[in-house]
Amino acid sequence: MSNRRVLGACPVCGSPMQVTGLHCPDCHTSLTGTFNLCKFCRLNDEQQRFVEVFITARGNIKEVERILGISYPTVRSRLDGIIEALGYVVQGSRDKEEEQLDPAVRREVLAALDRGEISAEEAIRRLRGENRAADG
């Protein structure tokens, strides 16, 4: 018996694959049709290994870092990638929030801070998109 794994995503376009046939090697019963794979089948081998480690570590990120020899940001990044691969939206990612700020606005705020026109607190508020006027 082969140890080949079912592909969860099409190697050409990345769309989810469907199983169209099943076979029992003991009694030779075959079943044909269209069957969807589970969400976890969409994960690549590296992602499945990460999920396995994450579960055995009971979600303890420090333990995941130790077992895999990776940093906290790498753990978070891989976890975000898995969340997205499972079809969910990653909520509360600070990096993604910061990416939404127009680069020209960011430069303008940092230049105003550099010139002393606004305080550091005001710069932080503006970079977070809180758009409050500077005090005084």
Query: What pLDDT, in 10s, does the model give residues 70-104?
Result: 999 999 999 999 998 888 888 765 554 445 677 77
**Which tokens belong to 50?**
């990460």
The reported pTM is: 0.55
Q: Which ranges of the chain have pLDDT less than 50?
A: 96-98, 132-136
Q: Which residues contact 50 (CB under 8 A, 6 or more apart)?
A: 64, 68, 78, 79, 82
Residue 126 and residue 30: Cα distance in Å, rounded? 63
What three-state secondary structure class fits 61? helix
CB 30 within 8 A of CB 21: yes
pLDDT at 44: 87
